[in-house]
Structure 1
């Protein structure tokens, strides 16, 4: 039973790391946007504020990628927990996981991109940037 527990702990650590990466990306995104707005407010050229869209979109795509990896490792965790002690091989490859068709849909990158956690953070952020650009009368 000890090798199964160790294998599950290894997968738990990876899942935790992916979740931390997602959280960190959201923090960096907000920080960069605030910095871009601060620089464009001091600058004579306010059109630099349009650059604020770039980090949000890049971080959204990267965050979705980490979410997809996290979901794969959660399925790997379930597969490992269903194995017997003699079947534990410490394989961490997510390409070898056993998935159903409904689970495969959830692992689709497009589904991760528009998952609730991603959509509820990045869409309002994009709307807020657009509203601030309209308030600043950039155009």
Structure 2
């Protein structure tokens, strides 16, 4: 199984954090349901073209936080996550994306008014597609 994870070399966020946050988002959104098997550390490392150490660290953190569980000899699976935690993760994911977009806009010298105008235009466009 290949996970839809996109890593950014330009991000100041460590790669293992990027992996963690994206797996959490996939779990919170329901794209990865409870009990879904995850790729092995080696397979995910190869898919993402990162070191096994980086992927292992992400998996260890996710397991420590209760998002995944490893069963000896069987593999790693999505754990059962409470719906309130899923809501919290979904909100965190959206806030992070919006913060990144706003930082990018400010780096390109957009004003708050221009950012609001762009945001509303995109929001209206997306609503039209639903």
- TM-score, normalised via structure 1 length: 0.29
Higher helix share: 1
Higher strand share: 2
Query: Per chain length, whose mean CA-contact separation is higher, i.e. which structure has more relative contact order (CA < 8 Å, sep 6+)?
Result: 1
Q: Determine which structure has more spread, i.e. the larger CA radius of gyration.
A: 1
